[in-house]
Structures are given as structure tokens and as C-alpha cells.
Structure 1
Amino acid sequence: MITDKIEDYFTEAETEKAFQIAKRKQLPVLVDFWAPGCKGCKKMEITTYQNSEILSYVDQNFVFVKYDITNTSVAKITSSPILWTPTFIVFANDGSEVRKITGYLSDLQFEAEMEMGRALAFLRKAQPQKALNILENLINSSVNTIFLPEALYWAGVATYFLNKRNAESLVPYWEKLIANYSESIWAERADCLNITL
């Protein structure tokens, strides 16, 4: 298994197989779009992907594809445009794109971004309890505070679906979001609690 370097992954030529395995294992797919000569990609290889905890995390929670965007001999994967590398896209196992992040990610950023992607993949697959569990872990973590506003937003959404689309169920998360992170874009997006339908 993965120990001290990234070696357990699919390539751009194996994406169809990766999605088949993801569907069977009920896991999201993480695609790392990279290119030779990309400094951010190289930094991922010599820093983040050298962390055995990160590698174990990826192995346990995703089907992982390292996709060389310069390889023109394979069919292109269906995704939103890749403008810069590295770009990481988390797909639900049905192939729907749920999160896209561009640029080098440190260990902490990488894990937090991927956890958010996992949560969104589970929401996409109508598994709000699994999504909420991931989001609650992010909310309760003191390490990834930058992700708290977004985690609170999506936790409200997950709770909404858990409670048969009851809008009142998202109020505790969104009130906390608006009260504690009023300057965030997530608070602005959640600022609809007083709208009457």
C-alpha cells in the first residue's frame, strides 16, 4: 500500500476503470490534473504527497487519478475546463463534478479541501448523514478554521435533506454562520432565513 510516496493511483488512460471501481466501492473520485514542467505539481510531489498520513487518507477515501493533461493520446475526461495546474476535481462516483480546486495545496489545505469534496459527493449521492458527519468533523476541528463558514453552510444543507427538506432544520447552522462569519461569502449566501415564501 502507500507508504512514503504516491504510487497507488490510476492514470489518465485508466479513468473509466477508476470510475467503475469508485461506483463499486461507493467512493468519490479525486482527479489530480497535472502537467510536466508545472512547479505547483512538482511541489505537491515533493511535499504534500510525501506525507504518509495524506497518502493513507487518499487511499482510504477516494479512487485517485493522476491525469497528465499533456497526454493527447487518450480521450479527455469530462470536466469543467482546466485553466491551470495543478487542478484537483472531486467527482461523485456517478461522474458528476462536485468540487474543483486550483493550485498547490499544503497538507492541511489538501485534506480540508478533499473533506469538503467528500461531503459534497455524499450530498450529491443522497447520503446527507455521511456528508453531515464529515462536515461536523470539519466544524469541530480547530485546525482548518478557514473552512468553517463553508462547512457550516453545507452542514445546514445536509440537515435540510436529512429532515425531509424542512427549512427550519438548517437554521442553527446558518444562524451560527451569519453570527460568527458575517463577512464571508457563505454568510451572504445563507442570508435568506427571513425570506417568506
Structure 2
Amino acid sequence: MRLQLTLLLGVTLVTLASYTSLENVPQNQIDFYQGSYDDFLREAKKLKKPILLDFWASWCGPCKKLENETFSNPSLVSFLNTNYMVYKVDIDSFDGMAIADRFSVDVYPTLVLLDAKTKYVGRYRGFFPADYLKNELERAKSQKGKHFIAPKINTTASL
């Protein structure tokens, strides 16, 4: 009897300790997807949400400005968390470099938009104020994408 009571008390305490109310989740931050890029794409397709890829680097000044000024705007944060799946692509990682190559990203920051079927819609290069970016993303939210065709790179060197 005493063992059952101790076990019940332990389970109850663990359950209460692991409970997180919605009030504790920060509502002033963008909900960037934390898993792998492939898992992210599967989740976005499942939820049928358009995608925003944020290509950034730790050494990039405009990337930091975008993060600190634009991505901290409460109106934009709410809009993105409601309407988009957002993924940060660190171009200094091997996976990030491969994704950047896939979309021919060569300017940082770059935001790439994909539709809910992961087809290419468009891109924004550089820093943008929150209100401007929100208006652009509202317009682009329902656009249908197309397959992205990366520009061909001439690999033959002329002598």
C-alpha cells in the first residue's frame, strides 16, 4: 500500500513538473522549426502551410539586424506563427550550404518563399522592416509556386 502511494505521488509530481501551460510559451518569438530540413518539409506539407526559409550566418550584420528588429516585431511574429512554417538555414553548416546551393542563395540574409507543396514562390534579399515584410508575405501567402530551376553554372574555363 505504501509503495503504491509513493509511486502514485511520484508519477503525479513528474506529470506536474513536465506540464507547460501556453502562458509560458513566448508569444513574441517566431516559432522556427527545430528539426531537420527534411522533417520540416514533411511537416509543412502535412499542415498545408506555406514555407519561409531564412538563410543567415552568424557573421552577417544584416542577418543580425533582421533578427533583432524585424523578427522581434509582435505583429510580424503573430502573422508568421499563424500562417507560415519558418525554418532558419545556417549557411555555415554543411546542410545549410547544400540548401543554399539548391536555391542559389548568395546574398545574406535571404528569405525564400515556398508554397504549401514546397514549390518556389519567390525571395527577398537583404534587410526589410517588419511592416514591409508582413505586407509582402500577406500578398504572397496564397500564391502558387513553380519548380525552382537553379541557373546553370558554366564549368568550362576559357584559356
Q: TM-score normalised to the size of structure 2?
A: 0.68
With over 3 angstroms needed to count, the CA separation of the structure-2 counterparts of 1:29 and 1:83, relative to structure 1, is same
CA-CA distance at 1:17 after TM superposition: 1.2
Corresponding residue of 2:115:
92
Matched, 1:118 2:144: no
With over 3 angstroms needed to count, the CA separation of the structure-2 counterparts of 1:70 and 1:98, relative to structure 1, is same
User: Is the contact between residue 89 and residue 101 of structure 1 (CA under 8 Å) also seen in structure 2?
Assistant: yes
> C-alpha separation between the residues in 2 aligned to 1:75 and 1:16?
15
Matched, 1:46 2:68: yes
Between structures 1 and 2, the one with greater helix share: 1
Give the unaligned 5+ runs of structure 2. Answer: 1-24, 147-159
Matched, 1:3 2:27: yes
With over 3 angstroms needed to count, the CA separation of the structure-2 counterparts of 1:73 and 1:80, relative to structure 1, is closer
> C-alpha separation between the residues in 2 aligned to 1:21 and 1:93?
10
**Aligned residue pairs: how many?**
121
2:103 pairs with one of 80, 84, 91: 80
Give the unaligned 5+ runs of structure 1. Answer: 126-197
Instruction: Give SS of 1:41's match.
Output: helix
Q: Which has the higher contact order (CA 8 A, sep 6+)?
A: 2
Identity %: 25
Cα RMSD of the aligned pairs, angstroms, is: 2.1
> C-alpha separation between the residues in 2 aligned to 1:23 and 1:73?
20
With over 3 angstroms needed to count, the CA separation of the structure-2 counterparts of 1:17 and 1:45, relative to structure 1, is same
With over 3 angstroms needed to count, the CA separation of the structure-2 counterparts of 1:73 and 1:108, relative to structure 1, is closer
Q: TM-score normalised to the size of structure 1?
A: 0.55
